[in-house]
Amino acid sequence: MKKYLLSSIAAIVLLSSCDKWIDTSINDDPNNVSNASLNVILPTAQAGLGYVVGGDLGRFTGLFTQHFYGAARQSQGMYKYIMTESDIDNAWQFNLYAGPMQDLHDMIEISKKNKSPYYQGVAEILMAYSLGTVVDLWDNAPYSEAFKGDANLKPSFDNGEQLYAEIHKLLDDAIVNLGAASSVFSPKGDDFLYNGDKSKWIKAAHALKARFYMHTRLKDPASTAKVLTECAAAFADNSDDLQFVFGATGSTANPLYQFDQQRNDIRAGEKLMELMNATNDPRRPLYAKLDADTLYSSSSELGPYYASIDSPVPFITFAEVKFLEAEAAFISGDKAKSVASYNAAIAASMKKLGVADANATTYLAQQNVAATEGDITLQRIMEQKYISMYTQFESWADIRRTNFPSLTPVSGSQIPRRFPYPQSERIYNGENLAKVNNGVTIYSHVWWDVH
């Protein structure tokens, strides 16, 4: 009897030894790590960018540019330009700012501390790419006061034009860093994009600079020459393409493939199909499937090249660089170079998709494709670029800059020219947003959009 009592009382005393029972280390999170190394942050940031670029950003802009047709449900609404501040909130919050961009920001800081310029350079290039994307889609955006957590809960919005200067600075800095003699830590297999190949990263930096200079050529005519300079230092062939290749399993599947499989609400775009049908484009079966009437139309489901489980999501490609060169040369009056680059761009696109050389040659020889110094036009360059840039949001920038290809608005009198600011910034950073959001609609122009 006494024994039972004693032992139970003893148990209580043991239990109630407060210091041991209320051990503060019990609240150390066993599921997550408090310090992560560069080689586990980089792959996550890259995959995150691949997911948002090939997912929401590519799809939403594709519905505006008629790369895609919105056949059903919410995609049908967006095809008709119904886009609300909550539609793009996930992309902004989770998949850009608090996602890859925050991690890239961290990486730049960590690699500076760790004296690892190679990681720093890679992170800077990806940050420049992300930030450039944000400016092209939303114009003014937080950067100088962003990513500070509780140290600044209300980051102000930087001017889009100034952010472009920042982007070029990041890219210039990256080129220097990647050329450094040594780096304590260097990206290897954790770099999904280039497997740690520094020379490719440097080329990618130049390619991005070419793209961003091109965006500003109507604002600043001096940009056109810079495009040509940067293109010369950029990609040499398709193997240099900066693109994220998805995996073969459900949890590593390409986002467009996932959307197509899980939602099945979009089809090949009207404009895209119209242009490709006009030239019997051999890339059609790779872009779209035959519809019920065995035609390629806006009833065609997505084709295999960009909508398979392990499809790539291009960030910037050799073909784009050649198109940039073609456009810049055309504007500068160097028609010969323009034609050469135009042909090279189309050939690169065909080759990338695996179109047989003979078919590519036949295609290029067609009257409404072939270009000579005498008849090359900006429209032809841009329409071909639009075809080769299928699924990529850069086409939206091209259309806004050049009005080519010319689109018939699906509703209203014009196509959208920017995304609305996200709901979360309006609610939680409203005062700062209000300074840049006055009268802004999806038809307002971003800073470089002078049309």
Partner 1 sequence: MKTLFTFLLMTVLIVTGDALAQNRIITGKVTSKQGTPVAGATVLVKGTALGGYTKTDGTYKINNVPADAKTLVFKMIGMKKKEMNIGANETINVTLEEDALLTDEVVVTAIGIEREKKGLGYSVQSVSGSELTQSHEANVVNAISSKVAGVQVISSNGVPGASSYIRIRGSASLEGENQPLFVIDGIPIDNSQSYSGNPDDGRNNLTNGVGYSNRAIDINPDDIASMTVLKGPAATALYGIRAAGGAIIITTKRGSATYGDKVNVSYSGSLSFDEVNKLPEMQNKYSQGRNGTYRGPETKDALSWGALMDTLRYDPTKPNKFDKNGTIVGISNPAGTLPFVPFDNSKTFFQVGKTWTHSLSMSGGSDASTYYFSLSNMNSDGIVPNSNFERTTVKISGDTKITKDLKASGNATYIRSGGQRVQQGSNTSGVMLGLVRTPPSFDNSAGYMFADGSQRTYRGGGGYDNPYWTINKNIFGDDVNRLIGSAQFDYIFADWFSAMYRFGADVWSDRRQQHFAIGSATAPTGRVYDHQLFNRDINSDLILTFNKKLTPELDGTLLLGHNAYESFGQSVYNQGDGLIIPDFYHISNTSGQFIRESIGKLRRAAMYADARLNYNDIYYLNGTIRNEWSTTLPAANNSFMYYSVSGAVVFTDALNFADNDIMQFGKLRVNYAVVGKDAPIYATTTTYSQGSYNDGWTDGISFPFNGQVGYMMGNVMGNSGLKPEKTSSFEIGADLRFFNNLFGIDFTYYDQISKDQIFSVPIAGSTGYTNIVSNNGEITNTGIEVVLTATPVNTDGFRWDATLNWSQNKNKVVSLAPGVENITLGGFTGATARAVAGLPYGTIFGFGWLRDKNGNVIIENDPNNERGDPVGYPIMDPTEKAFGSSNPDWQMGFRNTFSYEGITLSALLDVRKGGAIWNGTRGALYYFGTHKETEVRGSTTVFKGVKGTLNDKGEIVSNGEVNTDQVALDQNWLAFGNANGFIGTNTEDFIEDGGWVRLRELSLSYKLPSSITEKTPFSGIRISYTGRNLWLSTKYKGVDPETNLMGAYNAQGLDYFNMPGTRSHTFSLNVDF
Q: Which of residues 28-87 bind partner 1 (CB under 8 A)?
A: 28-36, 40-41, 43-45, 47-48, 51-52, 55-56, 72-74, 76-77, 80-82, 84, 86-87
Contact predicate 382/402, CB 8 Å: yes
Q: How far is the CB of 13 from partner 1 (least distance, A)?
A: 5
Mark the segment that binds partner 1 (CB under 8 A) among 139-147, 315-323, 330-338, 389-397: 139-147
Question: How many residues are given for the chain?
Answer: 451
Q: How far is the CB of 330 from partner 1 (least distance, A)?
A: 33
Nearer to partner 1, 328 or 415 (CB): 415
Nearer to partner 1, 252 or 406 (CB): 252
Q: How far is the CB of 359 from partner 1 (least distance, A)?
A: 30
Task: Report d(CA 139, CA 215) in Å as an integer.
Answer: 12
Q: In this structure, how many other beta carbons lie within 10 angstroms of the beta carbon of residue 87?
A: 18
290-329 binders of partner 1 (CB under 8 A) = 292
Burial of residue 76 (CB within 10 Å: 0-12, 13-18, 19+) is middle
Q: How far is the CB of 413 from partner 1 (least distance, A)?
A: 7
Residue type, 311: S
Asked whether position 99 contacts partner 1 by CB under 8 A, the answer is yes
Asked whether position 195 contacts partner 1 by CB under 8 A, the answer is no
Burial of residue 81 (CB within 10 Å: 0-12, 13-18, 19+) is middle
Buried b (16+ CB within 10 A) or exposed e, 98-116: ebbbbbbbbbbebbeebeb
406-445 binders of partner 1 (CB under 8 A) = 409, 411-414, 422, 424-425, 427-429, 438-439, 441, 443
236-275 binders of partner 1 (CB under 8 A) = 246-253, 255, 258-259, 261-264
140-179 binders of partner 1 (CB under 8 A) = 141-142, 145-150, 152-155
335: CB partners within 8 A, 6+ apart: 329, 373, 374, 376
Based on its alpha-carbon atoms, the radius of gyration of the chain, rounded to whole angstroms, reads: 25
Nearer to partner 1, 84 or 379 (CB): 84
Three-state SS for 319?
helix
Q: Which of 61, 65, 95, 224 binds partner 1 (CB under 8 A)?
A: 95
